[in-house]
Amino acid sequence: MDHLEGTHFDRLIPHLFIILGASGDLAKKKIYPTLWWLFRDNLLPKPTTFVGYARSKLTIQELREKCHPYMKVKSDEAEKYEEFWKLNHYVAGAYDNVQSFDLLNEELQKYEQGEIAHRLFYLALPPSVFESVTLHLRTICTGNKGWTRIIIEKPFGHDAISSQKLSDHLASLFTEEQIYRIDHYLGKEMVQNLMTLRFGNRVFNPSWNRDNISSVLITFKEPFGTQGRGGYFDEFGIIRDVMQNHLLQILSLVAMEKPASCHPDDIRNEKVKVLRCIKELQLENVILGQYIGDPDAEDPEAQLGYLDDPTVPAGSNTPTFASAVLKINNERWDGVPFILKCGKGLNERKAEVRIQYHDVSGDIFDGKAKRNEMVIRVQPGEALYIKMMTKSPGITFDMEETELDLTYGNRYKDLKLPDAYERLILDVFCGSQMHFVRNDELHEAWRIFTPLLHQIEKERIRPISYKYGSRGPKEADNMAKNNNFTYYGSYKWVKP
């Protein structure tokens, strides 16, 4: 079966997709809408039956009403939408008792007519019930007519020890081939494009190294605060929420060596290798911030700081902003700073990678030439552009920054890009683990960040205050500057 990984899709075999935590936020905002879009576009095997499971006693009608605002149903899709909900069922039960899972299993068996049927379980659940649920799934609900696959949402533990405990627990129940640890950033178009960009173009790969690149900046910014979910966010903080997973995943794709093939495990082997070359993160290479309200703002939300959220514990030192410099100790990247930056309550929404090249050597333009930069914009508005110098058009011999521009909205006008979750859930049906996080990758990610996280908690390190709606703490800009990243502020993008 191994050589078929990622290509084997049983279109005509019954599949059961079970959502555990079906009454929760993630299920109604992401999972059910994604399943509906895949069903609408005829991308799922036929027949696929959907079974929700949670503690709340819900009818399918009530579940449908909860999900409806997020389903984006067009007027000509009404019939197909009815068809989708007819394939949905719901079982209410506890997460910690055998009888409930027996009931769930009996329900599943009703839809497994014929010789073969496959089961996919999506665990949209709080970590507290994780161990008992996975144990019952293994002992009671594993399919005996086909394969069983488990999709797991972060947090994958809280630090190296809890993550290892969770991994060991899962490994005692399921094989690594059955486990799909989802990081939705790996489903995003431009993140998936990194492989093609790097290894499918002669023009980039030879310069992708310390001799040409001065620094790499990977940014994730949100223009809103915790929006009443501060209590949940406070348990994790921005490093666990975004940096240790999404940003580090992007870093490994930007920095890894060329894999032996496009087979999922060859790719993941290279990602692990590059993470192994990164030392544990030290506090002196990190800037932590926490947003405070801007009293002059018009938006009432912007007037409130993180600590004004009633669900956040008083005096919390949880960072809502972090900037960290990582170094990769290998031949390709020795000495090149990888700057990871993420935060809430900032001036804009964006996620991007900036690869900044060294200054031109043997400069004959009196320092007027600015650095080349390759920008891979993950969201919003997928784009890839290269900033370069040209002579200003006209009679004078001045120079200016311009770009080679691939903005998806212009180049691929009427194309609807799939949502990250659509792509990843479809990957699970196909058995492709390329865009999921392997156990050893997770282990390395926690190794890099755990000592820092423990130090912040133990020494109660106070983050620097920054105003809601700003660029974040000035100290982060200074740190980027000291790590060979130059911000000119002179480049102007001209809308086509």
Asked whether the predicted pLDDT for residue 202 surpasses 80, the reply is: yes
Q: Say whether both 55 and 124 belong to one domain.
A: yes
∠ Cα 175 148 420 (to 5°) = 90
Q: Say whether both 31 and 126 belong to one domain.
A: yes
Distance from C-alpha of 337 to C-alpha of 160, rounded to nearest angstrom: 24
CATH classification at residue 31: 3.40.50.720
Whole-Å CA distances, 18 to 29, 250, 277, 465: 16, 30, 39, 43
What mean pLDDT comes out for the span 282-308? 92
Task: Given the residues 15, 184, 246, 435, select the one marked as catalytic.
Answer: 246
Asked whether the predicted pLDDT for residue 7 surpasses 80, the reply is: no
What is the band of 300 on the pLDDT scale with cuts at 50, 70, 90? confident
Distance from C-alpha of 201 to C-alpha of 388, rounded to nearest angstrom: 18
Q: Say whether both 88 and 214 belong to one domain.
A: no
275 versus 384: the higher-pLDDT residue is 275
Q: Say whether both 121 and 194 belong to one domain.
A: no
Q: Say whether both 147 and 190 belong to one domain.
A: no
DSSP 95: S
Q: Domain for residue 299, yes or no?
A: yes
344 versus 185: the higher-pLDDT residue is 344
What is the band of 8 on the pLDDT scale with cuts at 50, 70, 90? low
Asked whether the predicted pLDDT for residue 1 surpasses 80, the reply is: no
Distance from C-alpha of 74 to C-alpha of 414, rounded to nearest angstrom: 17
416 versus 307: the higher-pLDDT residue is 307
**Strands annotated E in 59-196:** 88-92, 118-123, 148-153, 179-182
Q: Say whether both 348 and 221 belong to one domain.
A: yes
Q: Say whether both 320 and 217 belong to one domain.
A: yes
Q: Say whether both 236 and 194 belong to one domain.
A: yes
CATH classification at residue 287: 3.30.360.10
Asked whether the predicted pLDDT for residue 451 surpasses 80, the reply is: yes
The tally of domains found in the chain comes to: 2
Q: Which residues contact 143 (CB under 8 A, 6 or more apart)?
A: 16, 108, 112, 117, 118, 119
Cis peptide before 313 (omega within 30 of 0): no
246 is catalytic: yes
Distance from C-alpha of 68 to C-alpha of 491, rounded to nearest angstrom: 43
What mean pLDDT comes out for the span 445-469? 95
The pLDDT tens digits of the residues spanning 480-493 come to 999 999 988 777 77
The pLDDT tens digits of the residues spanning 76-112 come to 999 999 999 999 999 999 999 999 999 999 999 999 8
**Window from 31-40, 149-158, 225-234 with minimum mean pLDDT:** 225-234
Distance from C-alpha of 216 to C-alpha of 336, rounded to nearest angstrom: 8
Distance from C-alpha of 456 to C-alpha of 279, rounded to nearest angstrom: 18
Q: Domain for residue 250, yes or no?
A: yes
280: containing domain:
186-419+438-483
**Window from 131-140, 153-162, 264-273, 345-354 with minimum mean pLDDT:** 153-162
Q: What is the pLDDT of residue 405?
A: 84
What is the band of 175 on the pLDDT scale with cuts at 50, 70, 90? very high
Q: Domain for residue 173, yes or no?
A: no
120: left (phi over 0), alpha (psi -120 to 50) or beta: beta
Distance from C-alpha of 55 to C-alpha of 33, rounded to nearest angstrom: 21
Place of tokens 């993008």: 493
The pLDDT tens digits of the residues spanning 378-409 come to 888 888 888 888 888 888 888 888 888 888 87
Supply the DSSP string of 317-331, one letter for each residue: ---SEEEEEEEB-ST
Q: What is the pLDDT of residue 205?
A: 87
